[in-house]
Amino acid sequence: MNKKLVIIGSGPSGLVCAMTAVKNGISASNILVLEREGELGGTLNQCIHNGFLKNLTGTELASNLIKAVKKLGVECRTESCVLSLSADRVLTVISPSQGYQKIKADAVIIATGCREQSRGVLSIGGTRPAGVLSAGAAQRYINIEGYMPGKKTVVIGSTDIAFIVSRRLAIEGAKVITVVEPKSAPLSDKKNIKDCLRPFNIPFQLNHNVTKIYGKERIEAVDICQLDKKGKPIKKTKQKIECDSLVYSCGYTPDVDIAIEAGMRIKRDTKGPFTKRNYETTIPGVFVTGNAHYIHKNIDKILKESVVTAESVAKFLQKANQPKKEKKNEDNAHIDRKNQE
């Protein structure tokens, strides 16, 4: 199967790329969006809180984007996971309906979003019982699966999602005992502390961390310590706190295993693919956008970047489709212009 443009991922960045590509002259029938989950919309589907664009909820924004893309007639396949991408833009895709498939694309946009840093980065001593989960997993359990991850929760981290999930747990009747942050300043805006923690009387402690987890099958308690200036626990401040869940949020990293395996150059600081100004990666014809590119501060920036990325892809395809003769003439005109100068 051949396609002009394949977009990997149907979060806000992938969907906006699909819409912009059509607006820039790429026929909808030549675009394919591949999504590994059963629903389109990406992470927005688990964000039922407002604050997206003009105060929409994440799910409202997702629904608007999905409707717009479907109206344009772009083919979007769910349950289709891209396993790999080669340097000549052949994608290996697996899905229950189509099985194992190879798709050749003239251009590819990687819009695979980000994933949460794993619990390993916390380096907390003690046992490894159930009830210890990331903020994203907790958000998914409550908002999509309809399960409560716990009734007495300690939260580690001060990212937006740590605060949003603390509020969500409190709204659903859990007691959020405390939110601790090892650093001396919160990672998220102070406004989030005001909006998410204060109305529910959730304590927030900077320079504090969980130092030990207790429990065999299920978490039963944690030790919390104040940290000194070097980040070391101050022993005499240790407090054992009973809880049935521990939610952590230690930041995100671009989800770009496909890019790494394809041999793309990856930036050390952002951990996303290295790109030119037009968001093309070091593999010609393969572009990256959204949180797969780097972790953006907010959704507005992601949407703006995705528009520019799709415009660049349209230009790239236009150039690639120009007849060779025309291209040669253009090159000669460029040389002539240079000679005249």
Our CB check for ligand FAD shows the closer of 66 and 82 to be: 82
Q: Taking the CA atoms of the chain, what radius of gyration do you get in angstroms?
A: 23
Measured between its terminal Cα atoms, the distance across the chain in Å is 47
| Residue 104 · residue 1 · CB < 8 Å | yes
H/E element, 165: helix 160-171
Angle at 28 between CA 27 and CA 33, to 5 degrees: 130
Which residues contribute to the site for ligand FAD (CB under 6 A)?
8-14, 34-37, 42-44, 47, 81-82, 111-116, 136, 139, 160-161, 164, 252, 255, 258, 290-292, 299, 302
- Dig out the tokens for 204 from the structure: 């927030």
**Which string of DSSP letters, residue by residue, matches 208-267?**
EEEEEEE-SSB--EEEEEEB-TTS-B-GGG-EEEE-SEEEE---EEE--HHHHHTT--B-
* Closest to 105 measured CA to CA, from 33, 259, 19, 2: 2
Find the shortest distance in angstroms from Cβ 128 to ligand FAD. 21
If the CB atoms of residues 66 and 161 are measured against ligand FAD, the closer one turns out to be: 161
**Please, which residue, 252 or 279, has the CB nearer to ligand FAD?**
252
Q: Minimal distance in Å, beta carbon 51 to ligand FAD?
A: 7
For the CB of residue 291, give the shortest distance to ligand FAD in the complex, in Å: 4
Nearer to ligand FAD, 47 or 314 (CB): 47
How near is the Cβ of 32 to ligand FAD at its closest, in Å? 11
Q: Which is nearer to ligand FAD, 233 or 273 (CB)?
A: 273
Q: How far apart are CA 308 and CA 318, in angstroms?
A: 15
Nearer to ligand FAD, 11 or 131 (CB): 11
Smallest distance from ligand FAD to CB 144, Å: 11
Q: Are 50 and 106 in contact (CB under 8 A)?
A: no
Give the pairing of strands 56-57 and 50-52. antiparallel
Least separation in angstroms between residue 37's CB and ligand FAD is 5
Decide if 31 contacts 324 (C-beta within 8 A).
no
- 175 Cβ neighbours under 8 A, 6+ residues apart: 151, 152, 153
Closer CB to ligand FAD, 135 or 213, in the complex = 135
CB nearer to ligand FAD: pick between 26 and 138: 138
φ, ψ of residue 87 in degrees (nearest 5): -65, -20
In the complex, minimum distance from the CB of residue 153 to ligand FAD, in angstroms, rounded to a whole number: 17
Q: What minimum distance in Å lies between the beta carbon of 62 and ligand FAD? A: 8
